Structure 1
Amino acid sequence: MSLHDEIREQQKKLKGQGFKAKLEYFWEYYKIHTIVIICAVALLSMLIHDIRSNKPYGFYAVMINSGASSAQEELEYGFAPYAGIDTSKYSCFIDTAESYDLQVITETTIATSQKIMANVAGGDLDVLAADSNIFTYYANQEVFADLRTVLSKEQIEKYQDLFIYVDQSYLDYLNSEEYQAYISTGEFDKNNKYAVIADNYNKDLTFPPTDPSDMENPIPVGIKLDNSAILKKTGAYSGYSSAAGVIINSSRKDLAVKYIEYLLK
């Protein structure tokens, strides 16, 4: 049986189980395959970067599920001079080719996730953009900076109607011992709204609410890109709602903000 057929067979067995259960099962069952894929993707990424420039990053953004891999060159060539990046010394890398599907767990899904999280952990990534569902997924992984800490007062006033929020109280629940007990037992307090939200997400990928009026402690972490003339011109996210956020540990947050500003000018 081919690996593809094995994956399809195991997906049938896992139907109806939560996403986290699927991910954990897949990682255990295809651990070797996944490690090989992750290593291959990492090596390929490094090779592409070396071939492209052999320069340190001056700026690095990933735009997941853009549906327009050809947009990369236009965005890079447009943003570098806008931001004043000296491309003779530094690389301006805007990756529009990554795809990620939470509904289908494959080696590619895990490899993409591992690649992104490795770049976040390594401090290389400055901006992550994605369709609304994937953006919400990463927002609840706590990879984005609070926009109130990186935007000026004028920028906050300008973009606040476009903000996407996460509820810090929900994130606190995800980091609690109560949630860890739920992961182990499947039991939760049905009177705890955050426990209910987490259970709904794990069962059928029902995403947490993003309306700040429904939150106890709303934190702005993303800016909607739906009205971006540049993205419309390149065909990126055509027919989809999208958003971008500043990576929490980016050392180039000023350029990250400038890139979002560039997309919305």
Structure 2
Amino acid sequence: MAVRDEIREQRQKLRGQGFKAHWEYFWEYYKIHTIVAIFALFLIVTLVRDIANRKPYALYSLFVNNQGMETQTMLQDGFAEYAGIDTTKENVLVDTSSNYIGSSIDTTTVATSEKIMALIAAKELDVFVTDIGSAYHYASQETFMDLREVYSTEELDAMSDKLFYVDQAYADYLASEEYTTYITNGKFDPNNKYAVMADKYNETFHYDIMDPSEMDDPIPVGFKLDGSKALEECGAYPEETAVAAIVINSERIDTSKKFIEYLMK
């Protein structure tokens, strides 16, 4: 049997098998490609960082699944002017090079995940912008800051219709031993709504949008950017709502808030 036919047959078998089976298939067939891609990404990130380090960052924002061809240039220039940042002395970076598709565990998705982890570990990333579906994924991984830590109650109340929430109880389940056991053997408690939610995501790669009133522990972690003039002009997310969040360990909070303010206009 030709390799192409074997791969086609394997993919037919994987239909409906869930995250674990897809991951095992991916790792078997694309392990070397993934290692090479990650190494290449590391070299690129290192090079970009070395060049950028000639000037300190005023802001590092990451736009995942951006669709606009001119998003980076338009938003970097637009925000620098809006915030009065002298780009001869400080860098404003709108990184639009990453894509994440939960239903496709390929080298691009793996490289994006590795890049995000590296940037957060280095405390370089400030603002994370992506489509609402991907935002649920990263929010449930506790990637974003609780907005109550950096905004007053009055500020959040004034923007209540734009707030994006994650259920902390669901995030806690994903960090539990119970979930780890489920990933290993595929068994879960059907009476645990969070176990059911996690299993559904691993089967469909889709999050059901929940109202905060339905959550056990709703945490505001982002802002919905529907109606954003800046995003409309550059065509970043033309077909779906985007979400902007401050990364959990950002060290440039004031500039991050200013950037989100700019995006929400």
14-23 vs 158-167, which deviates more? 14-23
Residues 55 and 212 from structure 1, CA distance in 2 versus in 1: closer, same or farther, beyond 3 angstroms? Answer: same
Paired amino acid for 1:68: G
Shift of residue 52 of structure 1?
6.2
Report if the CA contact (8 A) 1:244-1:260 is conserved: yes
Q: Judging changes above 3 Å, is the alpha-carbon distance between structure 1 residues 98 and 4 closer, same or farther for their aligned structure 2 residues?
A: farther
Query: How far 1:124 moved relative to its partner?
Result: 0.7
Q: Give the residue type in structure 2 aligned to 1:156.
A: L
1:197 matched to 2:201? The reply is no
Write the letter of the residue equivalent to 2:175. Answer: N
Superposed displacement of residue 185, structure 1: 1.8
Identify the residue that residue 70 of structure 2 maps to in structure 1: 70
> Any conservation in 2 of the 1:179–1:195 contact (CA below 8 Å)?
yes
Tell me which stretches of 4 or more aligned residues in structure 1 moved more than 4 Å: 1-10, 49-53
State the secondary structure of the residue aligned to 2:137. Answer: helix
Partner in structure 1 of residue 221 of structure 2: 221
1:95 partnered with 2:95 = yes
- In 2: Cα distance, 1:8 partner to 1:79 partner: 47
Asked whether the 8 Å contact 1:7–1:106 carries over to 2, the reply is no
**1:50-61 map, 5 Å:** 50-51=50-51, 54-61=54-61
How far apart, CA to CA, are the structure 1 residues paired with 2:148 and 2:237? 26
1:15 counterpart residue number: 15
Contact 1:14 1:22 in 2 (8 A): yes
Q: Post-superposition shift, 1:212?
A: 0.5
Q: In the TM superposition, what whole-angstrom CA distance separates every residue of 1:35-72 from its partner, at most 9, and x where no partner exists?
A: 21011122223334545673232210011112013111
Identity %: 52
Distance in 1 (CA, whole Å) between partners of 2:69 and 2:82 is: 21
Cα root mean square deviation, aligned: 2.4
SS at match of 2:238: coil
In 1, distance between residues paired with 2:6 and 2:84?
49
Deviation, 1:106, is: 1.4
2:237 maps to which residue? 237
User: Which segments of 5 or more consecutive residues in structure 1 lack a partner in the other structure?
Assistant: none
Instruction: Give the secondary-structure state (helix, strand or coil) at the position aligned to 1:74.
Output: helix
Tell me the SS of whatever aligns to 1:96: strand
Contact 2:133 2:206 in 1 (8 A): no
Gap runs ≥5 in structure 2: none
* Higher mean C-alpha deviation, range 23-32 or range 151-160: 23-32
How far apart are residue 10 of structure 1 and its match?
A: 4.7
**Is the partner of 2:97 in helix, strand or coil?**
coil
1:123 aligns with 2:123: yes
**Change in CA separation of 1:196 and 1:73 when aligned onto 2, cut-off 3 Å:** same
1:41-190 equivalence runs, <5 A: 41-51=41-51, 54-190=54-190
CA distance in 1, matches of 2:67, 2:59: 21
Deviation (angstroms), 1:74: 1.1
> Normalising by structure 2, what TM-score?
0.91
SS in 2 for 1:97: strand
Question: Aligned partners of 2:23 and 2:133: how far apart in 1?
Answer: 17
Q: Secondary structure at the match of 1:172?
A: helix
CA distance, structure 2, for counterparts of residue 13 and residue 241 of structure 1: 34
